[in-house]
Amino acid sequence: MRAFTRGLLGIAGFLALWELLGRSPLIPAHALPPPSVVFGELVVQLTSPDFISHVVATVLAVLIAIGIAIAIAVPSGLVLGSVPAVRHATRAIVEFLRPIPSVALIPLALVVLGFGPETKITLAVYAALWPILFNTIYALDELDPLLVETSRVFGTGRVGVLFRVALPSALPFVLTGIRLAATTALIVMVSVELMAGSQIGLGYFIMEARSGPGRMDQVLVGTVVAGAIGVLLNSGLERVRRRWVAW
């Protein structure tokens, strides 16, 4: 509870500072609207079906991207983590692909995939793959050999060990990877919406508010909502971990 109170104090301090800066003559009012204005606009936007559809579009795309990333990265991680030959063969290419920023792939993705939601989802999947993949591989490295021996003594075969021992034992690490990946996916999603001429989504809303009427209060509404989605994703996944993977 103390920590919670301190958290609230921190937020209050941040808002107070922002309000002060926003109202000070040093910064033009249209460049940094104070939180009182931004949150007023937030209430207005939250009742606008248009804005809600932007939010839903982004959240849905993020969830789809996380789902696809899990479906690709967990099985790949299991293979790479349990078959050293495959891992060695792919190490160079993985180490090359991993540091490429997703946004650097925007032009390529636009040419190959076009301007639909496939592009932003693909790029978010690309960014979200790595934390899940590496956490899965790491988890298999950490797999306790005694658990494997125990299951083998009780007549479990290779495939059985993979699904009944390796996978559940990797789950806490995999979930941590998914939590990291969710934040990454959100960042990439909003960035691509903002930069790649998407027609819908939070990033598009921010871009429109900025380039059309120059409504910085609306830009900041988009930013605040993006941050809130990130917090909800993170705490939601943390709750899942605590509820289901409590060891």
Partner 1 sequence: MSNMLEVADLGHTYGDYEAIGGLTFTVRAGELVCVVGPSGCGKSTLLRTISGLIAPSRGDVSLKGSHLAVVFQDYSRSLFPWLSVQGNVEFPLRKLPRAERRARAAEALEWVGLGAAARKRPWQLSGGMQQRVAIARALAYRPALLLMDEPFASVDAQTRFELEDLLLRVRREHDTTVLVVTHDIDESVYLGDRILVLSGSPARLVADLDVPLPAERDQVTTRTDEAFVALRSKVARLLNVGKPSMDVEKWAAAERESLSETVSS
Binding site for partner 1 (CB under 8 A): 144, 146-147, 149-155, 164-165, 168-169, 171, 245-247
Nearer to partner 1, 162 or 224 (CB): 162
CA-closest candidate to residue 201, choices 115, 134, 90? 115
Q: Which is nearer to partner 1, 14 or 163 (CB)?
A: 163
In whole angstroms, the minimum distance from the beta carbon of 155 to partner 1 comes to 6
Q: Which is nearer to partner 1, 118 or 142 (CB)?
A: 142
Residue 96 or 247: the one with the smaller Cβ distance to partner 1 is 247
What's the closest the beta carbon of residue 154 comes to partner 1, in angstroms? 4
Give burial (CB, 10 Å; 0-12/13-18/19+) of 148: middle
The full DSSP string for 103-148 is GGGHHHHHHHH-SSHHHHHHHHHHHHHHHHHHHHHHHHHT--HHHH
> Minimum Å distance from CB 172 to partner 1?
9
Q: How far is the CB of 135 from partner 1 (least distance, A)?
A: 17
Task: Give the other-Cβ count within 10 Å of 52's Cβ.
Answer: 12
Phi-psi region of 130 (alpha: psi -120 to 50; beta: other; left: phi over 0): alpha
Please name which of 246, 197, 245, 236 lies closest in space to residue 66, comparing C-alpha atoms. Answer: 236
Torsion from C-alpha of 192, 91, 171, 124, nearest 10 degrees = 10
Least distance to partner 1 from the beta carbon of 158, Å? Answer: 14
Q: Which is nearer to partner 1, 96 or 154 (CB)?
A: 154
